[in-house]
Amino acid sequence: MHHSRLSTIVIDCQVDELAPAADFWSQALGKPIASVDQDGDGRYAELQTAADEPIILLQKVDHTSRVHLDIETDDLDAEVARLEQLGARRIAFVRERWWVLEAPSGHRFCVVQPQRKAFGPHLNRWD
């Protein structure tokens, strides 16, 4: 048995600097900027959300700007296998920490380890 849930809405931004994009999305969504440079490499910014809301992350990317979802799980292998049975296919294992998958609809999404100290609420239980 394992658990998973919607973790993060990721706004992929094909930009030179992430700070102006973070400022726009902060104002557009009414969420303050929690960090304009989350990892110190200029690739990730985070907007402040409540503990029971999905994380809103901005990511500096080389591909066309788009939005993707992250699903967090307490068993990465089991969750990826479950999603493959539903028709998803593996695209890449990134930094040996998360999987990029593609849904049958063509949408890319990530399967990641738990992102917050409290893993829950709103968990799905899969046997």
Domain count, the chain: 1
Q: Report if residue 123 sits inside a domain.
A: no
Please report, as a single letter, which amino acid is at residue 40. Answer: G
Q: Report if residue 28 sits inside a domain.
A: yes
pTM: 0.87
Q: Which domain, by its residues, includes 51?
A: 2-117
Q: Report if residue 27 sits inside a domain.
A: yes
Q: Report if residue 32 sits inside a domain.
A: yes
Quick: pLDDT tens for 23-36.
Answer: 999 999 999 999 99
Is pLDDT at 121 greater than 80 in this prediction?
no
Is pLDDT at 55 greater than 80 in this prediction?
yes
Q: Report if residue 127 sits inside a domain.
A: no
Burial letters 80-119, b for 16+ CB under 10 A, else e: bebbeeeebeeeeeeeeebbebeeeeeebbbbbeeeeeeb
Q: Report if residue 122 sits inside a domain.
A: no
CATH code, domain with 15:
3.10.180.10
**pLDDT computed for residue 101 by the predictor:** 97
Whether 19 contacts 36, CB under 8 Å: yes
